[in-house]
Amino acid sequence: MPAPFITIAIEPSGSVSAKGATDDLSATLLKHAGFHQIKDWYGRRHRLPTTTPQADRSAIASHAAEMLRAARYSVDLDPDLDTSRLATLTDPHGIRVAGGQVLRLTDRIKGAANPAVAAHAIDHLLDPTDGVLIRLHEAFEAAAETITDLDEDAFELADRFTLACEHLTAAVEELDGAPAQVCALAGASPLHGGSYQEQTATYYATAFTSAARAISPAAAQAPAPLDQTSGSVSAMTATPVSGSRPRVR
């Protein structure tokens, strides 16, 4: 007997309900996740308490769907309750789940506070067994094989996917050992990690200190030339030493 199809959705009233869990196992999993069982003339249904906070509703519904799918139930989960989906401007409903996961990984790489954190995130891309690149290679390879099976005359289209596989193979080989090299990088520079205002303040503080140290006591006590005003002398002593300015992001 096939497993029932279960729908977890937000009703027009705003409450979250699960319908289709007619057997004991699915009902037990829903109750374990936090749903309350209701038995009336409509049959067996499950619903979250109306006092459940919005964030908890999504977490409970997603957890329930995960357990049900692990038990081989077919589950239709409302996109607004799916915490695994990442909504973006180009994908407001989070339908492109794989792209959303890579986007999260990109954010982790951008926000890495030290080489070890960056290396760990990059390793998710480059792992030779389960990394993003190798999985993408397998997907392109499967696409080429499927196209050939569907239409033997579509070999040109299949070859394009095969060529893409070769590019991915080259990328994996080119970046072999890169996570370990990233992890071995030196610590962040003094200007790394702060806001632009903090970087600019640090730069000028360092520049003024260097300029002051570069002037000897004798030079500091020497009288200014007659053709220079006191303002120009002050400007000269306050001029930072040569060096690169912080970049504006």
Q: What is the pLDDT of residues 73-83, one digit of tens each?
A: 999 998 888 87
Q: Which is higher by pLDDT, 225 or 119?
A: 119
**Contacting residues for 64 by C-beta, under 8 A, at least 6 apart:** 8, 18, 29, 30, 33, 34, 35
Supply the pLDDT for residue 45. 86
Strands (E), 27-141: 36-40, 43-47, 74-77
User: Any idea which of 46-55, 93-102, 150-159, 218-227 has the lowest mean pLDDT?
Assistant: 218-227
The domain locations on the chain are 5-81, 97-183, 198-219+239-249
Q: Which is higher by pLDDT, 104 or 84?
A: 104
Q: Is the predicted pLDDT of residue 209 greater than 60, yes or no?
A: no
Supply the pLDDT for residue 3. 63
Rounded-to-10 torsion of CA 106, 107, 112, 118: -20
Q: Which fold has domain 5-81?
A: Alpha-Beta Plaits (3.30.70)
